[in-house]
Amino acid sequence: MTVPTITLNNGVEIPQLGYGVFQVPDAETEAAVSCALEAGYRSIDTAAIYGNEEGVGRALRASGIAREELFITTKLWNSDQGAAAAAFEASLERLGLEQLDLYLIHWPAPGKDRYAQAWTALEELYADGRVRAIGVSNFLPEHLRRIVDLGGTVPAVNQVELHPGLQQREIIDADDKLGIATEAWSPLAQGAMLSNPTITAIADRLGGTPAQVILRWHIEQDRIVIPKSVTPSRIAENCDLFGFHLDTDDLAAIDALEAGQRTGPHPAKLNA
Ligand code: NDP
């Protein structure tokens, strides 16, 4: 399987399809990530708060895959926004890596008013070569503007909840204008859209599955996606996306499913 890459605003290439490990217990993470690596995924998305960076690290080492073929993302948790450098080193240690590919501020947590300070710390890690690209997650346009107005590094990525039920057009527009790549978390709405009749009708017509149709809808729009599954058949299914296309009518039918439907918290409200 050859996964296309997206070139970030600093020239670094990220695979358009990655594998997410939110809610996978550490003890099960090595097996899940090993399965994903065997299926052909090379990009893994974890976070300090997921508690499974060590499991990811074990799978990476066991795979024997060359470091430069892998793309590893982890995230700075909200309570560490005032101590980003130490949190970064602890994540790297747990992952067993010398250098990270992408480090994200997990949430703006605007009530703490520390994300701009955290961004400056990430810029230092980037300048020191500890991480190949830095970005943000769950940033609304107002949060993006605040850090871009600092006049330093523009985030390479904004990872946000994004699926047919929550299409985030304002955020995509802000990301595009600033040259920030949009990465979709919960790209399958945690399974909630898989029995939607519009999706199942397209899947039946094309001989694919509902998950493949939704992931292909993301891919056709040049978006980065990181579906999660601990089920080997689904891990394989979710990366078998590159032999078919959706036509403009299919894309428009899925675009019409916008419903303002979140699976996670609103970024303006999460401050813990
Ligand atoms: P997803 O939209 O990826 O959905 C995962 C759910 O869908 C699981 O219950 C999985 O079941 C099921 N599923 C996966 N593939 C299929 C399939 N082919 N057919 C049927 N069911 C399927 O949700 P996530 O919330 O996990 O998001 C993906 C990743 O995004 C996370 O793992 C994490 O890396 C990232 N994320 C980032 C956040 C942030 O704040 N930055 C927040 C949330 C997620 P099963 O595993 O049982 O097979």
Range of the domain at 241: 5-255
Ligand 1 pocket test, candidate residues 17, 22, 266, most atoms within 8 A of CB: 22
Predicted pLDDT of residue 272 = 74
Does residue 108 have a pLDDT over 90?
yes
Nearest CA to ligand 1 atom 9: 190
- Long-range contacts, 118-124 (Cβ 8 Å, 24+): 118/76, 118/81, 118/82, 118/84, 119/147, 119/150, 119/152, 119/153, 119/155, 120/150, 120/152, 121/84, 121/85, 122/76, 122/84, 122/88, 122/153, 123/152, 123/153, 124/85
Does residue 122 form part of some domain? yes
Sign of the alpha-carbon dihedral angle for 163, 171, 10, 85 = negative
For residue 16, which amino acid is it?
A: Q
Q: Which atom of ligand 1 is nearest to the CA of 209?
A: 18
Predicted pLDDT of residue 197 = 98
Predicted pLDDT of residue 74 = 98
Does residue 264 form part of some domain? no
Active-site hit among 41, 50, 103, 115: 50
Predicted pLDDT of residue 271 = 80
CATH number at residue 29: 3.20.20.100
Does residue 272 form part of some domain? no
Does residue 28 form part of some domain? yes
Does residue 1 have a pLDDT over 80?
no
Cα of 229 vs centre of ligand 1, distance in Å, is 6
Q: Which atom of ligand 1 is nearest to the CA of 187?
A: 2
Nearest CA to ligand 1 atom 37: 185
How many Å apart are CA 71 and CA 101, to the nearest integer? 6
| pLDDT band with cut points at 50, 70 and 90 for residue 158 | very high
Q: Is 50 a catalytic residue?
A: yes
Residues near ligand 1 (Cβ within 6 A): 20-22, 45, 106, 137-138, 159, 185-191, 194, 209, 211, 226-231, 234, 237-238, 264
Does residue 270 have a pLDDT over 90?
no
**Average of pLDDT values for 69-86?**
98
- The total number of structural domains in the chain stands at 1
Does residue 109 form part of some domain? yes
Report the run of H or E that residue 210 belongs to, with start and end: helix 210-220
Radius of gyration of the chain (CA): 18
pTM to 2 decimals?
0.98
- Give yes or no for a contact between 144 and 178, defined as CB atoms under 8 angstroms apart: yes
Predicted pLDDT of residue 192 = 95
SS3 percent helix, strand, coil of the chain, rounded to 5, is: 45, 15, 40
Does residue 29 form part of some domain? yes
Does residue 262 form part of some domain? no
**Average of pLDDT values for 172-181?**
98
Does residue 95 form part of some domain? yes
Beta pairing, strands 71-76 & 100-105? parallel
Beta carbons within 10 angstroms of residue 128's beta carbon: 9
